[in-house]
Structure 1
Amino acid sequence: MKLLIDADGCPVVDIAVGIAKKHRLECLILCDTSHVFEKEGASTLVFSKGADSVDFALVNIASSGDIVITQDYGLAAMCLSKQALVLNQDGKEYTVENIDGLLSFRHTAKKIRNAGGRLKGPSKRTPAQDEAFKAALTRILSGKLT
């Protein structure tokens, strides 16, 4: 089992690496050349800036039982098909039960934007979101590593 972090636009890289280090879990940070992260306790894999290059690399590396951190619904769906456990940056688990609804929402939002509409962006990140992520990842690792 390993922890794979889709680091492009991920606000919880430091938290995830710290938790992985504490649990002695292999941690891989995947990013493109415009978002290079070097963190003690993790290996960084850097890919070209091509469309979805990091996502496809992560899916190719992911295995059953791995834990993936991403905010990308499409990447989450691909990782779920490989039986990986997938969390977003707020600690919400993507599952086979909720991924279709999330992908449908993404599709609808894209149609609205393509038609010239605007959607409200995410709110400023709060310490409570960091704590929720930390609690979810710790709970999952505690259950998987015992």
Structure 2
Amino acid sequence: MKIYVDADACPVKPEACKVARRYGLTVTFVSNTRMRIPDPGISTLVVVDGGFDAADDWIAEQVSADDIVVTADIPLAHRCIGKGAGVIGPSGRPFDEENIGQAMAVRDLMADLREAGTITGGPPPFQKKDRSRFLHGLDQMIQTIIREREK
């Protein structure tokens, strides 16, 4: 089991490493630019060249069943779920077969509203409770995958 992080705008990099260390897992941060990564003992940085979705494409190519992807990118989440991976957003919201369709629809609606000028703001600011929810959600996802493997 590996953890892949869509790292360019991810606010929970240290938290992903904290949980990974607890379970003896590795974390791969994937980005379009060089950046500092937390906990180099268990994490690596992959810098991809290319266009806007190059990091997403790299993650989608590498991920397999029982891996976990941390991303706020709904299309990437959809691609990874299709490969059997667990996916969790930085706010701790897990994405799965049951909710990804609705998440895609909301994303498309919001894009249309932004394009029409109806909505001009971005997402709400990231808060401490979001970090806490992420830590709990990632821990739960890892435990679920471990239990499923043992069956």
TM-score, normalisation: structure 1:
0.91
1:5 corresponds to which letter in structure 2? V
1:102 aligned residue: 103
Does 1:30 find its partner at 2:30? yes
Distance in structure 1 (CA, Å) of the matches to 2:86 and 2:8: 19
Deviation at 1:49, TM superposition (A): 5.2
RMSD of the TM alignment (CA)? Answer: 1.5
For 1:4, what is the secondary structure of its paired residue? strand
- Tell me the percent identity: 28
Structure 1 portions without partners, runs of 5+: none
Cα deviation code 1:9-32 (max 9, x no counterpart): 110011001211221112111111
Moved more, 64-73 or 18-27: 18-27
Deviation at 1:82, TM superposition (A): 0.3
Distance in structure 2 (CA, Å) of the matches to 1:7 and 1:37: 10
For 1:116, what is the secondary structure of its paired residue? coil
Structure 2 portions without partners, runs of 5+: none
Alignment of 1:55-134 (within 5 A): 55-134=56-135
Deviation at 1:119, TM superposition (A): 4.3
Distance in structure 2 (CA, Å) of the matches to 1:91 and 1:108: 22
Q: How many residues align?
A: 145
Deviation at 1:139, TM superposition (A): 1.9
Cα deviation code 1:33-52 (max 9, x no counterpart): 1x523232201100125110
After the TM superposition, which segments of 4 or more aligned residues of structure 1 sit over 6 Å from their partners?
none
Cα deviation code 1:24-83 (max 9, x no counterpart): 1121111111x5232322011001251100000000010011011000100000000000
